Amino acid sequence: MSGPKAGFASGLLDIADPEDAIEFCYEQGWTDGLPVVPPTPERVRRFLAAGGRPPDDVIVEYIDRSRRVTVEKAAINSVMAGCRPDYFPVVLALIEAMADPGFHLHAANASTGGMAVGFVVNGPIRNELNMNCRGNVLGPGNRANSTIGRALRLTQINAMGSVPGAGNEPDLDGTARPILDRSTMGQPGKYAGYHVPEYEEAFPSLAPLHVMHGFAREQDVVSLFSVVGHLQISAHAESTAQEIIDTICFYLAGCGRLTRGGDCVLVIPPENAEKFVRDGFSKADIADAVYQGTRRTVAEVKRAGGSVSGGLMDRRGGPVRPGDDEREVAIATDGSHVHVVVAGGPAGAFIYALLPYGGGFAMREIRRPESNMREG
């Protein structure tokens, strides 16, 4: 291995034959199990130029693990994920959001609960990057959707120490990195995240998520949250907005994720959004109705045979204790923590609830290279 050179703080590693580069990356333990693009200096330089920020800028001061994630490390991992350079400002904004104390980064990186990272992208940059906000929005098929999320995961693995595989601890020969992603099961969302560019143009009366939070419609903004999993709610047989709300609440109340504090993201497809608009529901109305409809007291949950987490955990069938009739849980902290996003294909009334777990919600404006350069 060569030391730092050629203007990089990161070490350069020599590979005799370029044909071996992908296998070499596997051997180093740098991948998520899928092949990566070898992070050559020239590729990384293009990302740094597109990001417009000094490579030694620290994006995340990760105190729990005594690591500092720099722009350069983010660029290397973004190259490996298969991003294009013009995606890099989005990746940087998302990693910045990870450092927000409200996001609870360490829980997302370490928990046995196996949280994936979810993100919404708002603003003109969605279309400039040809992100897909329509059919299969949460699935495969779009380079920006998939690789931006993958860049986050590779950054978590390589720059934040979240090497997966608990239970497969290597021989203690001092060469392998410790396995610090302690997820019991993991989940498919940990490959590329839950990626949700919002379909802002579909229903102008439903304000985009970033506008709901005080940003201007022309601003480019990412919203980051952790997701323990999702629930697909079929709402085809519901003919009014209130019926859709009732169905959402019926399923969410029993999904096992009622909480004292957390954020739930509801991805509403056009077929359902149309009915909300027709019946005069705003996003705030939807969010508040879902919160109200999922409120339960701890006593109610216990009497129904359930258990509740977050400091209220009790053994199933445990006694109702003093105060349990007053303490409440719901699918989110309150209505302002239910985030409604419009996305998805033209046919199908499948609402996706991205379920909360431990983490929070953080937003960051995406800084374009020109504004980055001005500030720098």
Partner 1 sequence: MGYEVLDPVVEPIAPEASLAPRLDSLEGKWIGLWSNNKINAVELLDEVEAILRDRYGIAGTKRGTYNAGRVMRAGEWGDIDGCDAVILTHGD
Residue from 11, 54, 323, 346 binding partner 1 (CB under 8 A): 11
CB-neighbour burial class of residue 317 (10 A; exposed 0-12, middle 13-18, buried 19+): exposed
CB-neighbour burial class of residue 168 (10 A; exposed 0-12, middle 13-18, buried 19+): exposed
- Beta bridge partners, 352, equal 232, 267
Residue 216 contacts partner 1 per CB under 8 A: no
C-alpha–C-alpha distance, residues 112 and 107, integer Å = 9
Dihedral pair phi/psi, residue 117, rounded to 5°: -95, 135
| C-beta closer to partner 1: residue 47 or 215 | 47
- Judged by CB under 8 A, the stretch of 65-73, 91-99, 246-254, 367-375 that binds partner 1 is 65-73
**Which residues, in sequence order, are CB contacts of 254 under 8 Å at separation 6+?**
none
Shortest spacing between CB 114 and partner 1, in angstroms: 13
CB atoms within 10 A of CB 234: 12
Residue 321 contacts partner 1 per CB under 8 A: no
What are the CA-CA distances from residue 58 to residues 54, 55, 150, 330 (Å)? Answer: 9, 8, 20, 37
| C-beta closer to partner 1: residue 39 or 270 | 39
Draw the binding track, 100-139, toward partner 1 (x: CB under 8 A; -: no contact): -x--xxxx--xxx---------------------------
Residue 166 contacts partner 1 per CB under 8 A: no
Residues 306/316, Cβ–Cβ less than 8 Å: yes
What is the residue-wise DSSP string for 278-297?
HTT--HHHHHHHHHHHH-EE
Dihedral pair phi/psi, residue 75, rounded to 5°: -65, -45
Q: 112, 151, 120, 158: which is closest to 138 by C-alpha?
A: 120
* Total chain residues near partner 1 (CB under 8 A): 55
- Judged by CB under 8 A, the stretch of 153-161, 168-176, 288-296, 333-341 that binds partner 1 is 153-161
| C-beta closer to partner 1: residue 220 or 324 | 324
Tokens representing 18?
């370029």
Shortest spacing between CB 69 and partner 1, in angstroms: 6
Residue 13 contacts partner 1 per CB under 8 A: yes
C-alpha–C-alpha distance, residues 308 and 257, integer Å = 8
- Judged by CB under 8 A, the stretch of 62-70, 215-223, 259-267, 292-300 that binds partner 1 is 62-70
Residue from 34, 49, 63, 216 binding partner 1 (CB under 8 A): 63
Residue 91 contacts partner 1 per CB under 8 A: no
Residue 44 contacts partner 1 per CB under 8 A: yes
Residues 108/182, Cβ–Cβ less than 8 Å: no
Shortest spacing between CB 27 and partner 1, in angstroms: 12
Residue from 313, 319, 326, 375 binding partner 1 (CB under 8 A): 313
Shortest spacing between CB 316 and partner 1, in angstroms: 10
Query: Where along the sequence are the contacts to partner 1 (CB under 8 A)?
Result: 1-2, 8, 10-18, 21, 24-25, 28, 30, 38-41, 44, 63-70, 72-73, 76-77, 80, 101, 104-107, 110-112, 154, 158-161, 177, 310-311, 313, 315, 358-359
